[in-house]
Structure 1
Amino acid sequence: MKIKSMVLIALFAALTAIGGFIKIPIPYVPFTLQIVSVYLAGCLLGPKLGMLSQLVYVLIGLAGAPVFAEGGGPSYIFKPTFGYLLGFVLGAYVNGWLIKRFQLVKTFSIFLANFACLLVVYLLGCLWLYAAMKFIFDKSLTIAQTLLFGFVIPIPGDIFLCILCSIIAAQILPRTNFLIHKQGVAS
């Protein structure tokens, strides 16, 4: 792996960690700015490097660094919000794959890729939230409660960030496409 690729992976992992410290506490799932780094990692780094940046972030947190919104360590897998972190990994891949596969450069098409990423994050997040509350915490949430706390309440802010990142990516991609994608950094 090229040094440039490793630096970009580390940069986006660090940006995701920083986004976790900027949060608005709401029940069960705090609203953070982490999703910004997930969108941009997929858009700018492509599927593999974007996914790797998020995987590095998750692994650093599980190793004990307090980079998650509520700390870190291996026991974090038992948190109700851990599924969202797994969603970051898969979501960045899906986003990058869509952008690379269909050569998306227009704001609306990038928005659709970012939104697909967001849906992946929320799907894994809500599934984990439901299972964790039922099997780990013995405080079962109904499916309606899971969707309310895990999807309906936090998604408006993430959709706003999705729109904002789509605009940013549409401006950055044409300028960085040659640097990132054509020189073999992203694959």
Structure 2
Amino acid sequence: MKNTTIAFAALFAALTAVGAFIKIPIPYIPFTLQILSVYLAGALLGPKLGSLSQLCYMLIGLVGLPIFAEGGGPSYLLKPTFGYLIGYVLGAYANGWFIQRFNLKRIYSIFFANVSTLLIVYFFGCLWLYGSMKWVIEKPLSLHETLLFGFYLPAPGDLLLAAMSAAIIAKMRPRLKNTIIKQGAA
């Protein structure tokens, strides 16, 4: 891996960390701007480098730096929000894969790739939320409550971010084609 490639992965890990601190508190799962960095990382860095950036973010937080929305450290594995972090890694990969594989260029098609990313993030997030509340915190949520707090409440804001980032990606991707994207595909 080239030094510039590592720098791009670090940049998007840092952007995800910044997004964690811009939040609107809602019960159990705060609404943050992190998903914006996930969309951008996958689309602009490609599947491998995009997911690597999110994996770096997750590992740096698990080591102990308080860069997650609610802190950091290995105990974060037991938090109801940890599943979303797993989803970020897999979602960034999926977003980059869809956009590269199908050569998506139009805003609406990139938006749908972003929505697929969001569904991956929500799947792992809600699954972890349900399990954590039931077996770790011992205040189980019903399936309806899990979907309400883990999906329905944050979804409108995340869909707005998916649309905004689709417009950004459509404009930036052609300009970055010979730099970041080419290195991320390698």
Category of TM-score, reference length = shorter chain: over 0.9
1:81 — aligned with what? 81
Matches within 5 A, 1:17-96: 17-96=17-96
- Once the two structures are TM-superposed, the CA of residue 97 in structure 1 deviates from its matched residue by 0.5
Task: Report if aligned partners of 2:8, 2:180 keep a CA contact under 8 Å in 1.
Answer: no
**Distance in 1 between the 2:98 and 2:77 partners?**
28
1:118 — aligned with what? 118
2:130 aligned with 1:130, yes or no? yes
**Distance in 1 between the 2:161 and 2:35 partners?**
8
- For residues 17-42 of structure 1, what are the alpha-carbon distances to aligned partners after superposition, in whole Å with 9 as ceiling and x for unaligned? 00000000000000000011000000
**Distance in 2 between the 1:20 and 1:100 partners?**
27
- For residues 111-163 of structure 1, what are the alpha-carbon distances to aligned partners after superposition, in whole Å with 9 as ceiling and x for unaligned? 01111000000000000000000010111100001000100011100000000
After TM superposition, the score normalised by the length of structure 1 is 0.98
- Once the two structures are TM-superposed, the CA of residue 185 in structure 1 deviates from its matched residue by 3.8
Letter in 1 for 2:110: I
When residues 34 and 142 of structure 1 are mapped into structure 2, their CA distance, relative to the original with a 3 A threshold, is: same
Letter in 2 for 1:186: A
5+ long unaligned stretches in structure 1: none
Percent identity at matched positions?
62
Letter in 1 for 2:185: A
Q: Counterpart of 2:125 in 1: which secondary structure?
A: helix
- Once the two structures are TM-superposed, the CA of residue 179 in structure 1 deviates from its matched residue by 1.7
Letter in 2 for 1:99: I
**Distance in 2 between the 1:185 and 1:93 partners?**
11
**Distance in 1 between the 2:13 and 2:65 partners?**
12
Letter in 1 for 2:126: C
2:171 — aligned with what? 171
Task: Report if aligned partners of 1:4, 1:185 keep a CA contact under 8 Å in 2.
Answer: no
Letter in 1 for 2:67: V
Q: What RMSD over aligned residues (CA atoms) do the two structures have, in Å?
A: 0.8
